[in-house]
Each structure stands twice: as C-alpha cells, then as structure tokens.
Structure 1
Amino acid sequence: MNLSIDMQERENELFVKVAGEIDAYTAPKLKESLHPSAETENDKDIVVDLSEVSYMDSTGLGVFVGLFKTVNARGGQLKLVGLSDRLRRLFDITGLGDIMNINSKVEGGVE
C-alpha cells in the first residue's frame, strides 16, 4: 500500500500528482502533504492529478472534502483531474461530483 505524492508550486497554484492507493493507511500521508498549503495561503488553487491512483476508499474522500472546504474558505479552488471511471463514480455516488471541480482529463499538471 504505497502512495507517492509529487508537488510543484507555480505562483498561486499547487500541482499535485498522486500515485498508488488512498485508503485508511495512506490517507494521513496525503492529508499531511496537502493541508498545510491550503491552510496557510489565501487564493491558492490546488490541482490534484489522480490519474495514477488505483484505489480510493471513503477515507480518501474525507481528505478531499476537508481540503475542498479549506481551499474554498481561503478563496482558492480545488480541481481534481485524471480520475478513472471508478474514481469518478465514487465521487458521483456520494454527490461530491456535483460540488467539486472534477475533470477526467489532465490539463497542465505535474509532468
């Protein structure tokens, strides 16, 4: 159950490429990596590329819900890109697909 996180900052944007599985064991690592930037800077947009995430459970959803709330409260936007059909379905079933900015295509993310 490995998770790798690659982060690149560009002006008011943080690009994050996540690879592996997001579950109860790896979600704390993801949260520790993402939340400090979201909590300390106003008007920062965060783009998370999930194209290499093979699995995510409700713990991972919780990380993104918390991140979404924090980023929005500070005037930024959270954009999730590169979701597989399975991940997209997970967000849609929970109703988060209607609330969050989700795009199946990766646009200018981390190389």
Structure 2
Amino acid sequence: MGNELFTVKNVKDLWIIKPTGILDLYNSSDFKEKVKNEYINQGKVNLIIDLSSVEYMDSSALGVLVGLQRSCRLNGGTLVLCGLNDNLMRIFQITSLVSVFRIFPNVEDAIKALLEEGKS
C-alpha cells in the first residue's frame, strides 16, 4: 500500500474522499484520524466518500464510516457514500447500513443530490 490512504477533490465545498484498495483493521483508524483532522475538524463537513476503488472493507472500516458520518452531522454537515461495488453493497445490506447511509451509484449523482439540497 502506498503512503496515501485516499485522494481528495473539492467540488463546490463538497469534499470527495476516495480511499483505494483495502480498508480494514490495519488502516481504517488512520483513515478516520486523517479525515477527522484534515477535514471535519477544519469545518469541511460535507463529505462524499467514493468507494469505487475500494476492493474490500471489514467491520472496523464500517465502524469508522459510521463514526465519520456522526462527526459530520454533529458539525452541521453530511456524509454520503457512492461507488460501492456489488460485494460492498452486499456488506452494507447484510449489516443494515443501507438504512444508515445515503448511497449513490457514482460521484456525479452524489454531488447533484447534495447541491440540490443546498448543502453547499
């Protein structure tokens, strides 16, 4: 794994965070700390987590996403997910997290929905 856990793009005050590879016990807490310190704690609280390059995630990564979503909400923002492959979508369905997160097919749909809600 490279030293970058994720890449980031900004579109109209929406922060698109794109982790790559595997999110698991070994790196999910680093991911959480970086996102909290570099984005949420800086007032960048409207996040789109693009999971299209994530091959696998375990329960610790799911917990991290739930925690980040809570942090965004507590700070007046929102966190949505997009780009889940079939395996990830199955994990979210089995764990009932599909009812916790708003999940979009791709980044474009997520941006469109959030901008229409006036979250930016």
Query: How does the TM-score come out when normalised to structure 2?
Result: 0.79
Q: Given residue 8 of structure 2, which amino acid in structure 1 is its aligned partner?
A: M
Give the superposed CA RMSD.
Answer: 2.0
More strand by share: 1
Query: How much has 1:92 moved relative to structure 2?
Result: 1.6
1:65 & 1:96 partners in 2: Cα distance?
9
1:53 & 1:72 partners in 2: Cα distance?
24
After the TM superposition, which parts of structure 1 deviate over 4 Å for at least 4 consecutive aligned residues?
none
Query: How much has 1:108 moved relative to structure 2?
Result: 7.2
2:71 & 2:9 partners in 1: Cα distance?
19
Query: How much has 1:91 moved relative to structure 2?
Result: 1.3
Look up the match of 1:63.
Answer: 64
Identity across matched positions, percent: 34
The answer as to whether partners of 2:15 and 2:48 remain within 8 angstroms in 1 is yes
The answer as to whether partners of 1:39 and 1:70 remain within 8 angstroms in 2 is no
2:86 & 2:107 partners in 1: Cα distance?
14
Question: Which residues of structure 1 form unaligned runs of 5+?
Answer: none
Query: How does the TM-score come out when normalised to structure 1?
Result: 0.84
SS of residue paired to 1:51 = coil
The answer as to whether partners of 1:22 and 1:57 remain within 8 angstroms in 2 is yes
More helix by share: 2
